[in-house]
Chain A
């Protein structure tokens, strides 16, 4: 069964450093998403992406964040200058349709900012 994959599974970085989280969505999916889950809290939407541009973003997704689909398979989330409060699990998701339709999630990348 096809699945969303994410790398790395765990990333430790120092405050102020840039990180790139990588995702390979399911191959026939056209819509891509990033969510995050701070330890013990709800899963929160960050951004959706379609046709090489951002479709929607939340208030969390400020200028420190960016997304990119650098090739036909990868989808990345970049945090330019990490803060302690960016520590969370970051989940990539993909779907064949828009408007929330059947979003399938990857296993997540645990980001720890020290």
Chain B
């Protein structure tokens, strides 16, 4: 596991509760945002995306909220399950191919 480098904030939730993971982005010109889930030893898995002309987008059990005024993105997971345990990253881009990833939040789901 990760023993050096970034200290990941951790969110611990009980199975069945809702989770809210937050992300502050830095570039006010960013116009496209993605949430990724990364399980240990695996690559980032696409969860949901949102463009800057929207402030909310819903998927299956997940909702992304975008507040451009304060440059804040959140991921809401409904009825959190043990399989949701992972590190969650937000990523942003401003009209380029380059995704800029955030530091990540570790979600721990306990029974």
Contacts and interface: CB of A to CB of B under 8 A. Distances in A.
B95 to A, nearest CB: 6
A55 interface: yes
- Interface range for B: 20 to 34
Given A43-B89, A44-B101, A103 B95 contact: no
Nearest to A9: B41
A100 B43 contact: no
Chain B, interface SS category: loop
B35 to A, nearest CB: 12
Given A107-B43, A108-B42, A39 B98 contact: no
Contacts of A48: 97-98
Nearest to B46: A104
Interface stretch (B3-11, B17-25, B59-67, B72-80): B3-11
A44 B93 CA distance: 13
A107 B42 contact: yes
Contact of A42 (B32, B34, B42, B101): B101
A69 to B, nearest CB: 16
Interface in A22-51: 31, 33, 35, 38-45, 48
A58 interface: yes
A7 interface: no
Nearest to A55: B97
Contacts of B97: 31, 33, 45, 48, 55-56, 98-100
B100 interface: yes
Interface centre among A4, A35, A45, A107 (most CB of B within 10 A): A45
21 contacts: A33-B97, A39-B2, A40-B3, A40-B6, A42-B6, A43-B89, A45-B100, A56-B97, A91-B44, A99-B32, A99-B95, A100-B91, A100-B93, A100-B97, A101-B49, A102-B49, A103-B99, A104-B46, A105-B36, A106-B43, A107-B42
